[in-house]
Structure 1
Amino acid sequence: MLIKKLLISFLSCVAVSAYAAAPISLGMIEGMSGPFANAGEAVVRNLQMAIEDVNARGGVRLPDGMHPLRLEIFDNKQGVEESLIELRRLTDRHIRFVLQGNSSSVAAALVDAIERHNRRAPDARVLFLNYSAVDPALTNSQCSFWHFRFDANADMRMHALTEVIRGDRQASRVYLIGQDYSFGRMVAEAARQQLRAKRPDIRIVGNELHPIGKIKDFAPYIAKIKAAGADTVMTGNWGNDLTLLVKAAKEFGLDAKFYTFYGNSLGAPAAIGDAGVDRVRAVAEWHPNVGGMQTDNASDRFYQRFRQRYPQPQDDYLLLRMHVMIDMLVKAIEKAGSTEAIAVARALEGASYHNSFHDAMMRAEDHQLIQPLYVSVMRRIQDGGIRFDNEGSGYGFRTERYLPSAQTALKTSCRMQRP
């Protein structure tokens, strides 16, 4: 009888433990194949490490116990229609949290589809967490209660870059080049407006949009930039479109500064090499050298832990905002005491993030994360002034301008419809 009671007690504990340990799935819809697969792989590495950190401390606390997080990956091949198909697969599996970022056109389509889904299925609503799609419309005219953006939008990034170019008296002839979709067009428009306001003396000598993910040789574009006499190039290009652009600039000896959104990422520093030193600038919420030359600071430890987790040079692309996103989501779930989308959304509104080197706040008005931004300039590690290079290239970035949150928070036109 005692053995039977012990067995029943053991089986009951197993059942409770299994129920309490049921994972909370996060469904990532991203391009894992095709020309931007490297960008998708970088996202996975960052999300996986952030999830491992949560699970290492026990998981997510809910009223029925601790639950681990689990990442489920849906390959959209970087296409809009494929993304909508993957969203249906995701919702059919009752996953409540959608993660996506690499492509604003995909993000816009997902926002619309999630709005429709949540109206049709109020008992199976989902929440959209956006880590990289930066079209300003997503938190302005197209804002949605179900969408939260954890990256600075294109206007905010451009504001940071143009604050630097405001004082760059060598900049007089600017060439705009970008990817031909909603994000690329918004970057070009933001550049025109902000340069007109901050540097009306600057002449825009070119405004070029190219097919996204289709160009293998940017030499003809570089030839146009050289022919226009540009001394400055501004681009929001990302992934291989950025790497191939700066590689062509190096090969054809383009003597111009690059003001970029993502010039510190995915092979770009190695591609441009010495030609980018003191010329290529990038903007981000963080970069590996924000700790300066001081050793053993919290930022350095965070970065070094990432490099220990992913030691291959080509995997060296740490995106703080994705770790912030997972941390804020977990805290919102715990505050709500539920994974139900509307409860978690309300807990995220106005939520804050703080560590020893970064602060952020989710603005309730439009669901845009407000956080500091750094504009950094490319340097050789051998020249001193930086401690870390990018992807083992010998080139890294040093802070040129720091903008605290109060200076990055731009006005919003969002008129959110709340359930």
Structure 2
Amino acid sequence: MRKLLSPLRRLLPCAAAVASLGMALSAPAHAEEPIKVGLVAALSGQSAKSGEALTRGLTVAIEEINANGGILGRPVQLIRRDDESNPAKGMLAARELAQREKVTVLFGGLDTPVSLAIVPLANQLKVPFMGVWAAGTKITENGAKDNYVFRVSAVDELVDEALVEYGTRQGMQKPGMILINNPWGESNEIGFKHALEKRGMTYAGIERIEDSDLDVVPQLTRLKNAGTDTLLMVGNVGPSAQVVKSLDRMGWDVPV
């Protein structure tokens, strides 16, 4: 357990200390005033368990930091906001944490669409935003001249390359893509296409799924009829489960 948590213990004080030093140069602070750390994550809905996992990790790190004197002699305080996996709510939550609560750093990014909504705000307000989960390539590669967005999560482009490489080693020749219909799915579509083009490979087709889908048989049937020999799937728990259930109903035994 100690070994698993050590990266977070190193990351949190570094991020907060850098932000705190910037604040110290612009405004005086009493030694007892806490350094506020913001978390924007899904604390309700289908991603709630992941949001709670982030909360536990940050809480453990903060408790250990405070037990050792805090950062720059000041205690660290975690303030959470629920984005409900909704980009608009995520942006509002990030704005509140940055402007009203005066957090020194924002953590978050369970969902790529929410993270992409927060990115322009973080850069505008010059508040460091540390992405811990969402893999959308454009989250950090956002084109901002002064980019305040960082990540410790994987990047779709690299993950897609690794998945295609693994698939080809397993005999994949004509994959079909079934992707969540949001910016995360779009990011992976770009990554998969690039990885396939590098190898001179084609794909059977691309189908979209929604979070609310209960039956994915029509999309899967089109991919099957197009000659798909492997499914490249991107989706959250709910829609991904429906893909697996639909495959079972079809009796289609295809690698995913």
TM-score, reference length from structure 2? 0.77
Correspondence 1:60 to 2:104: no
Change (3 A) 1:139 1:115: closer
Matched residue, 1:108: 116
Match of 1:289 in 2: none
Contact 2:95 2:121 in 1 (8 A): no
Distance (Å, rounded) in 2 between the aligned partners of 1:145 and 1:42? 27
The whole-number CA distance in structure 2 between the counterparts of 1:34 and 1:27 is 20
SS in 1 for 2:78: strand
Deviation readout 1:261-288 (Å, 9 max, x if unpaired): xxxxxxxxxxxxxxxxxxxxxxxxxxxx
Change (3 A) 1:229 1:50: farther
Alignment of 1:5-16 (within 5 A): none
Q: 1:32·1:38 contact (CA, 8 Å) conserved in 2? A: yes
SS of the residue corresponding to residue 214 of structure 2 reads coil
Which structure has the highest strand share of the two?
1
Superposed CA offset, 1:297-346 (max 9, x none)? xxxxxxxxxxxxxxxxxxxxxxxxxxxxxxxxxxxxxxxxxxxxxxxxxx
SS of aligned partner of 2:169: coil
1:111 Cα shift? 1.5
Which whole-Å CA distance do the structure 1 matches of 2:69 and 2:163 have between them?
Answer: 39
Residue number among 81, 84, 102 corresponding to 1:74 in the alignment: 81
4+ runs of 1 displaced by more than 4 Å? 19-22
Give the whole-Å Cα distance in 1 for the aligned partners of 2:236 and 2:217: 17
Contact 1:38–1:239, Cα closer than 8 Å, also in 2: no
Distance 1:194 1:44 in 2: 35
Alignment of 1:2-401 (within 5 A): 20=31, 22-56=33-67, 58-62=68-72, 65=73, 67=75, 69-91=76-98, 92-118=100-126, 126-143=127-144, 144-169=146-171, 171-198=172-199, 200=200, 202-211=201-210, 213-258=211-256
| Consecutive unaligned residues in structure 2, runs of 5 or more | 1-29
Letter in 1 for 2:150: F
Deviation at 1:175, TM superposition (A): 0.8
Shift of 1:214: 2.2
User: What are the ranges of 5 or more consecutive residues in structure 1 without an aligned counterpart?
Assistant: 1-18, 119-125, 259-419
Q: Is the 8 A contact 1:103 1:133 kept in 2?
A: yes
Query: What's the C-alpha RMSD, in Å, of the aligned pairs?
Result: 2.4
Q: Distance in 2 between matches of 1:44 and 1:246?
A: 30
Following superposition, the deviation at residue 70 of structure 1 comes to 3.0
Local SS of the residue matching 2:102 = coil
The count of residues paired between Structure 1 and Structure 2 equals: 225
Alpha-carbon distance between aligned partners in 2 of 1:226 and 1:252, rounded to the nearest angstrom: 10
Q: Distance in 2 between matches of 1:60 and 1:246?
A: 47
Distance 1:218 1:158, change over 3 A: same
SS at match of 2:62: helix
CA displacement at 1:22 relative to structure 2? 4.2
Question: Post-superposition shift, 1:156?
Answer: 1.0
* Secondary structure in structure 2 of the residue aligned to 1:33: coil
Alignment TM-score, normalising by the size of structure 1: 0.49
Question: Whose helix fraction is larger, Structure 1's or Structure 2's?
Answer: 2
Aligned-residue offset at 1:66: 5.1
Secondary structure of residue in 2 paired with 1:108? helix
Q: Which moved more, 1:139-148 or 1:98-107?
A: 139-148
Q: Which has the higher contact order (CA 8 A, sep 6+)?
A: 1
Seen in structure 2, the aligned counterparts of structure 1 residues 251 and 45 have a Cα distance that, compared at 3 Å, is farther
Point out the structure with max Rg over C-alpha. 1
**Percent identical residues:** 24
Query: What is the identity, as a one-letter code, of the residue corresponding to 2:185?
Result: G
Task: Give 1:191 deviation, angstroms.
Answer: 0.7
| Aligned-residue offset at 1:55 | 4.0
**1:138-159, CA deviations, whole angstroms, 9 ceiling, x for partnerless residues?**
3334345211111121111112
Distance in 1, matches of 2:168 and 2:154, equals 20
8 A contact 1:187–1:235 mirrored in 2: no
